[in-house]
Chain A
Amino acid sequence: MPIATTELKTKIIESLNLQDIAPEQIEDDAPLFGAGLGLDSIDALELVVMLEKNYGIVIKDIEEGRPAFKSVRTLADFIDARRSN
Chain B
Amino acid sequence: MLYSIRRRLRKRAIGQLNASLHWHVLLAIVGLIVLFMHAFGHFAMISGTFALYSMVALTISGFVGRILDHVMPRLIAREVDKVLTMQGDDGVESTSQKLQAVVVHNTQENRGIIVSQSQAPIPMPGSLPFTTNGQSLGASWDLAYISLEPTQQELDQNAPHYRFIPDKKSALNRPGALMPGAEEHLLALQDMQLAMRREQFFRYIIRYWRVLHILLAFITIGLVTWHIIFASTILWPRFFH
Q: Do A and B come from one complex?
A: no
